Amino acid sequence: MRRVDLPAPLPAGSRILHIGLPKTGTSALQASFHAARAELGRRGVDYVSRGANPLSAARFAAGTASGDTTRLERRWDRLAEDFRTSGAAHVVLSSEGFSGAAPDRVSWIGDQLGGEATVVVTLRPVAALLPSIWQQALRRGGLESFEDWLAGVLDPAHPHAANIARYDPAAIIASWGRRFGEERLVFVCGDPSDPADRMLNHRAFESLLGIEGVLELQPVLNSSPPYPEIEMLRHFNLANGRRGEEGELWTRVLRRTARRMGDAPPSGAGTAKVRVPRWAAERINEQARASIAALEASAATVVGDPAHLLVDPADHPVETTAPGQVTVASAGWFADTVARLAVDEVDERAARKVRRLERKVARLTAARRATTSLDEASARDLIRALARRARSRSRREG
C-alpha cells in the first residue's frame, strides 16, 4: 500500500473509472463534475456521461440490470465508445453501478472500455452505511426490521450478506486489481467525523487530474427519513403485499415517497435516526480490520487513513428499539403523498401507453400510404402500357 494525503497527477491521456461505492459521497462528487463540465473541458477533462450519473448503463455493464436491457445496451455502447475514443487529456467516467460487477463482468468492462484506466474507489465505514442500505431495501418493498436485516447482512452464510460484499476492499482488489492492476487502484478513505474531509473525494480527483478549485459542492438532496417515518414505510409494505406488475408500481411510488420524506420531512416528523447497535458495530469492525490488512498488503494507493473504516463501538447504543408510532401530521402527510404519487404513476403509465399506440398508428398509417401510393402507381403504369400496346396494334392493323 502506498498511503498519501493526495494522489499525484496522472499523465496526459489517462482515463479514470470511478466505481463508487454507493453512499460514499458519490452523488455529491458526480453533481460537482456535472456542474463543472464547461470549465473541465477548458482544462482538458472530459466527463463522458451525458448526465451526472449513468447508473442504468453502468448496471447493464455490471450485469445487474433487470428487465429488457436492449435500450441499456445501446446506451452502454455509446458510453464505452465515448470513453475509448475521447481525445481529451483526461477522461472520467463515474457510477456506483459498476461496483456490483462480478469478476467476469469486471474483465468484460475492462475490455469494453479499452486500454488501461485508473480505478478509483471511495470508501466510508460500513457501520455508517448500513442504515441507508436497509432503507434502500425498504424502498424496494423490503419487510424486515432493522435488527433482523442486520443479523442476515452480517452472517456470511446468509443471502443478505451480498448487500455489503461490494464494500470489501479485499474483493475489490481481487477483481478490479486483477483486470486493471493493483497499482492502478486508488482508494479514498476520508474521516467522517472531520468536516474538512467532506471535500476529500473532490480534492483527490482534482489532484489526479492536475487541476485545482474546479469541483465545488452542489446542493444534493438524498437524505434518509427519520426512523419513525421509515418504520411507517416498512409497515406499509407489510400491509400492502402487492407483487408482480402492481407491486412494481407501488415500489416506484414508495421510492419517491421516501425520497421526499428524507429531503423535506413533514411538519411534526420524528427526529430519531436509525443507528447501528453496538454488537453490530463490533462485528463490522472485525471485517474492517481485515479490509485494512488487505489494503496494506496491496500495491494500491490509499488517500487518507484506512483506519477511518473503523468506528468506536462506544458511540453506538447497546440496544435499539424500533419506533412504534408517528405523529398524526406525519401519517396524514404520508397518506396524502402516497395517494398523489400513485395517481401520478398511473397517469404516467397511461400516457406512455398512449404514446406507444400513437407511434404504432403513425407507423401503420405511413405503411398504408406507401402501399396505396405503390398500388396507384402500378395501376397507372399498367394503363399506360395497355394504351401503348393498343396504339401499336392499331398502327399495324392500319
| pLDDT 10s digits, 231-260 | 988 988 888 765 555 567 777 888 888 877
290: cell is 481485515
pLDDT at residue 87, rounded to an integer: 94
> pTM of the full predicted structure?
0.82
Distance CA 376, CA 383 (A): 11
Q: Residue 192: which of 304, 281, 295, 27 has the closest Cα?
A: 304
pLDDT at residue 10, rounded to an integer: 97
pLDDT at residue 170, rounded to an integer: 95
Q: With H, G, I as helix, E, B as strand and everything else as coil, classify residue 50.
A: coil
Lowest mean pLDDT among 31-35, 218-222, 340-344: 218-222
Long-range contacts made by residues 2-5, C-beta under 8 angstroms, separation at least 24?
Answer: 2/299, 2/300, 2/301, 2/302, 3/301, 3/302, 3/305, 3/306, 4/301, 4/302, 4/303, 5/303, 5/304
Distance CA 396, CA 168 (A): 95
Residue 344 has pLDDT above 80, yes or no: yes
Beta pairing class for 2-4 and 118-123: unpaired
Nearest-5° Cα angle at 236, 234 to 237: 65
Check: CB of residue 275 under 8 Å from CB of residue 320: yes
CA distances from 36 to 82, 85, 323, 393 (A): 18, 21, 42, 80
Confidence of residue 398 (pLDDT cuts 50, 70, 90): very low
Distance CA 342, CA 299 (A): 51
Distance CA 51, CA 49 (A): 6
Mean pLDDT along residues 127-134: 92
Residue 395 has pLDDT above 60, yes or no: no
Residue 379 has pLDDT above 90, yes or no: no
pLDDT at residue 380, rounded to an integer: 66
pLDDT at residue 221, rounded to an integer: 65
Mean pLDDT along residues 1-13: 95
pLDDT at residue 386, rounded to an integer: 65
Mean pLDDT along residues 7-34: 95
pLDDT over 70, % of the chain: 90
Lowest mean pLDDT among 230-244, 245-259, 316-330, 365-379: 365-379
Higher pLDDT, 165 or 16: 16
Residue 68 has pLDDT above 90, yes or no: no
Residue 376 has pLDDT above 80, yes or no: no
